Amino acid sequence: MPVFRGAALIAFALLATSPNPAAAQNATPSSPVGAQDSRPAASATDGHAQAALFGQALDIIRQNYNGPVDPDGLTSTALKAMAGSLDGHSVYMTPQEFKDFQAGATGEFAGIGTVIEVADGKLRVIAPTDAGPAARAGVGAGWFIRSIDGQTVERTTLIEATRRLRGTAGTTVAITFIDGSGHEVPLVLTRETIHLHSVYQRRIGSIGYVHITGFAQVTDRELGEAQADLLKAGPMTGLILDLRNNTGGFIDAAVHVASRFLQPGAVVVRTGKSASATTAIVASDQGEALRRLPVVVLINGGSASASEIVAAALQDNHRASLIGLVTFGKGLVQNIFPLAQGAQGALSVTTMRYYTPSGRSIQRIGVTPDLVVARTAREAEAAVKGGQMFTEASVFNAPDNEMQLKRDEPDTVEGPVDEGPQPDKPLFAKPLPDDADIAADFQILRALDVLRANSPDGANPARAVRLYRRPPPEARAVVNGS
């Protein structure tokens, strides 16, 4: 199943191998890509004994608790605790929550337009949905939610927060956010119907620009349509593939998208229980239209999961230059297992890891761009001062990088000169940037520089670039101690 995009009901950065929940109808997890689990399987006898133990405890509570007891509620609570104890990406969904999940994954629904998660007991915005109410109001990736309609969200579950944020289109919800500087930002947002459209395109002279918001069932078809529209306007000398704030989706969709830029048979991603036991997923033949075109991929800390697969595939195959900031760092795959065909809910379980074509694990470390560039001066300063505040490493019980690789926080970041006191324009307040948005987006401008440097329509312009440098360790110690 894909990540929910657009409303508040989000299974964070969920990367699945198949969009069809019928592929896993049983409660027993199986490896969907053929990877082998080296651990001994639990016997049926063990499972029966554990089920009997749970049943005995439930009966004791029902018969002896001094107060009303809801057996279904107790069971749901137990299942949620069990799945949630594994990692921050595994979860049990009740039947209604699973229905909401399916609706959000395949249709349209009303919400404020945020991708959210619960991290360290706090409700946090992973990314605002492009052109949604939250994005237009300036809500940023990494902001926390303190209250909804005056009620605190402390110790609120993701599902409960979702229920409170979603509603009927046209109704309002009052939310108190905490921005990246720790300041309260109270907003009243009007819920809207969020349409799940994942690909937007335009021309910038002879260069094509494609923004993919998420990897859904329709993404490859939409990318094909966008590709055709771009080529109708004439030959292209390069293409910008914008994956910033793209939190993931189907692994199938990611492979199809990467295949449009790679030679058939090139490795897109490797999946398995460990680096020593992986299955390579290779590119299919998606035609030659984009295969030889110079490409720049834009990434940032909101690029996660399936978007990291595409970025790493093009980087490892030397097919594109990556520009931006280090990505989120989620190298795990979840599968959805409906229980009793969904009548008793479903389990989302982390089933395996994925690795780049060269065999690297990006779990907790992300994908490092070839050219480290911030969108604005303030973003550059934040990147060199403290790095990224929300990454896979901050997700509850996030598995370690088994290769013991460390996240690369560059000491130097390119950015524009200081813009002064005016606030930054929010990224993707509308999904397709116009000329004014491009002029204010230093990452897009640098991508254009790279592509134009080797194209017939112009040399690399003399753009003013400022290098923002990380303070030396002794200076950081003084700052941290003040």
- Terminal CA-CA length for the chain: 47
The region of weakest confidence among 116-125, 332-341, 366-375 is 116-125
Residue 401 domain-assigned? yes
Asked if pLDDT for residue 139 goes beyond 60, the answer is yes
Residue 87 domain-assigned? no
pTM beyond 0.75: yes
* Among 363, 163, 191, CA closest to 271: 363
Question: Can you list the positions of beta strands (E) in 382-437?
Answer: 412-415
* Total domains present in the chain: 1
Q: Is 239 helix (H, G, I), strand (E, B) or coil?
A: strand
242, 252, 330, 348: the active-site residue = 330
Residue 310 domain-assigned? yes
Residue 451 domain-assigned? yes
φ, ψ at 417 (rounded to 5°): -65, 160
CB-count exposure of residue 255 (10 Å: 0-12, 13-18, 19+)? buried
**C-alpha pair distances (Å), 402 with each of 351, 355, 359:** 15, 11, 12
Q: Which residue has the tokens 């194209």?
A: 455
CATH of residue 262: 3.90.226.10
pLDDT band at 480 (very low <50, low <70, confident <90, very high): very low
Distance CA 323, CA 348 (A): 33
Task: List, for residues 200-221, the tens digit of each pLDDT value.
Answer: 999 999 999 999 988 988 899 9
Q: Where are the alpha helices (DSSP H) in 295-412?
A: 306-316, 377-386
Distance CA 247, CA 374 (A): 19
φ, ψ at 457 (rounded to 5°): -95, 10
Residue 469 domain-assigned? no
Residue 274 domain-assigned? yes
Residue 453 domain-assigned? yes
220, 252, 316, 449: the active-site residue = 316
Cα 394 vs. chain centroid, distance in angstroms?
14
Quickly list DSSP for 342-376: TTT-EEEEEEEEEE-TTS-B-TTT----SEEB-SS
Asked if pLDDT for residue 457 goes beyond 90, the answer is no
In sequence order, which residues have a C-beta less than 8 Å from that of residue 130 and are 6 or more positions away? 200, 211, 213, 245, 428, 430, 431
Active site residue 305: yes
Quote the radius of gyration of the chain (alpha carbons, Å): 23
Quickly list DSSP for 65-93: -SS---HHHHHHHHHHHHHHTT-TT-EEE
Active site residue 100: no
Task: List, for residues 216-247, the tens digit of each pLDDT value.
Answer: 888 999 999 999 999 999 999 999 999 998 98
Task: List, for residues 425-446, the tens digit of each pLDDT value.
Answer: 888 888 899 999 999 999 999 9
pLDDT at 6: 29
Residue 358 domain-assigned? yes
pLDDT at 25: 30
φ, ψ at 31 (rounded to 5°): -85, 115
Question: Token pair of 27, please?
Answer: 């409660």
Question: What domain range includes position 247?
Answer: 196-331+353-412+445-460
**C-alpha pair distances (Å), 433 with each of 158, 436, 437:** 31, 8, 5
Distance CA 106, CA 243 (A): 21
pLDDT at 250: 87
Higher-confidence residue of 177 and 89: namely: 177
**In DSSP terms, which residues pair with 414 in a beta bridge?**
373, 467
Active site residue 99: no
305, 307, 394, 455: the active-site residue = 305
Distance CA 310, CA 301 (A): 15
